[in-house]
Amino acid sequence: MTERGNQNGRGRHTAGRWPAALLLLGVSVVVACRAADADALTPLPQLLAFLPWLLVPTVTALLLALLARWWTGLVGAVALLGLLAWFIEPYGRSHRPDGPPLASVRVLTSNVEFGQAADALAAAVRREKPDVVFVQECEQTCDAVLRRELASAYPHRVAEVAAGSHGSVLLSRFPLAPAGGVDGTMAMPGAVADVRGQPVRLQLAHPMPPLPGRIGPWRRELGRLRDLAEGRGRTPLVLAGDFNASQDHAAFRRVLDTGLQDAARLGGHDRTPSWPARTAPAFGTQIDHVLLSRDFSVRATRFLDLPGTDHRALLADVTLHRRPD
């Protein structure tokens, strides 16, 4: 091979290293935050929500490094793939309740996007017949639709109706007693349900999203949900809604660290995307959750597509167990 040919080959190899290095650098920063159990600052919380999809640029970097014969980059890409595979595994523990079954409960949570999917939600509720319904972003028109269509089947409700994304409604077939909600930019009401004589704490979750420049409120409001879960005592808890966070966010993992279980994980859907609905399930992230205290077991979970909203609804069939004395 001539000297000119050698120079051309070296040039091609060098040119291939730069895009591979940039891809590996970007992925490494996000993975480092995940390994450090930190959400950091914009744009890292937004990128962490899509952590599994970082496999794509990592594999691309691996192929570029291989073509460029950049062995250091190749080793780095393999190491990143191993870390991503580790972190993609489901987070949290599962607990088998000790007591006998007390009652079957069907839970539905849905973000109706400024009330636009209220009619579709009402139809889904009539079809699926959940016992408890958590509704986020329910403004005045949405509230009117739910009252008109569902009041007879769901005589018990707690509502904080407000414009835009700020309103929330909790519907129940079970009698409800008042309970303080969680302070937040958007309404997060709570109640205590009487489920065959067993008090069950119901809490709707809808913290601020991690918008650029608004990471602080997002982190604080998830922290308040964690505090509620931590201080629940022996009362069974259902904490459900749009958390604006996935298992790859440290702030959400701290909620799970209180001992709560993610129903979707136990139902075999731990990585099923719920947002944005327009690209799910092919692409997206799971930020809509039903979290349960260890008093519950999970029989099945399903995500429902509702026209008019950018979120998929989550339906969970769970069993409440009697806690041993």
Average pLDDT score, the chain: 94
Confidence of residue 6 (pLDDT cuts 50, 70, 90): low
What is the per-residue DSSP string for 117-166? THHHHHHHHHHH--SEEEEES--HHHHHHHHHHHTTT--EEEEE--TTTT
Residues 142 and 168: their CA atoms lie apart, in Å, by 10
Q: Residue 14's CB: how many other CB atoms inside 10 A?
A: 11
pLDDT over 70, % of the chain:
95
Where is 177: in which H helix or E strand? strand 176-179
Average pLDDT over every residue of 76-101:
93
Residues 234 and 294: their CA atoms lie apart, in Å, by 10
Bond prior to 281 in cis (omega within 30° of 0): yes
Listed by start position, the domains of the chain span 3-88, 101-321
pLDDT of residue 117: 98
pLDDT of residue 13: 61
- The β-bridge partners of 302 are 315
Residue 179's contacts (CB-CB under 8 Å, 6 or more residues apart) are 190, 191, 192, 201, 202, 203
Q: Are 289 and 94 in contact (CB under 8 A)?
A: no
Residues 103 and 200: their CA atoms lie apart, in Å, by 11
Average pLDDT over every residue of 72-83:
97
Report whether pLDDT(29) > 90. Answer: yes
Confidence of residue 92 (pLDDT cuts 50, 70, 90): confident
318 closest CA partner among 127, 125, 134, 97: 97
**pLDDT tens digits, one per residue of 117-169:** 999 999 999 999 999 999 999 999 999 999 999 999 999 999 999 999 999 99
State the number of CA atoms in the 13 A half-sphere of 202 facing the CB: 33
Show the tokens assigned to 33.
Answer: 């935050």
**pLDDT tens digits, one per residue of 176-195:** 999 999 999 999 999 999 99
Report whether pLDDT(65) > 80. Answer: yes
Class of domain 101-321: alpha beta
Q: Residue 174's CB: how many other CB atoms inside 10 A?
A: 20
Average pLDDT over every residue of 26-40:
97
pLDDT of residue 11: 53
**pLDDT tens digits, one per residue of 224-258:** 999 999 998 899 999 999 999 999 999 999 999 99
Where is 76: in which H helix or E strand? helix 71-88
Report whether pLDDT(10) > 70. Answer: no
